[in-house]
Amino acid sequence: MSVDFVNDIKILVKYATDNLPSPIAKVLHVGGSSRMPLIKSMLIQMFPNAEQCCEVHPEEVVAVGAAYYSYHLAQQQK
């Protein structure tokens, strides 16, 4: 993974979290990229005071979240 790509990710995360009303308390490591040590260390560096939640199977977390979201959408249409 190139350093430029990691810097791009860092910029996007910073952009998404800059205007939050309170500091980040918990970082959920989900998805395949969260298995990468470079990404893990970047998130720890960006959010040193936040609890870092690293699941054993981060891809399953994404699938479960998608299932909950699809259920939520289906309930709204009733």
Domain segments of the chain: what residues? 3-76
Rounded Cα–Cα distance for residues 19 and 31 (Å): 24
Q: Ramachandran region of residue 47, left (φ > 0), alpha (ψ -120 to 50) or beta?
A: beta
Instruction: Give the tens place of pLDDT for each residue, 35-63.
Output: 889 999 999 999 999 999 987 788 888 89
- Give yes or no for residue 10 having a pLDDT over 90: yes
Structure confidence at residue 57 (pLDDT): 85
> pTM (2 decimals)?
0.73
pLDDT of residue 59: 86
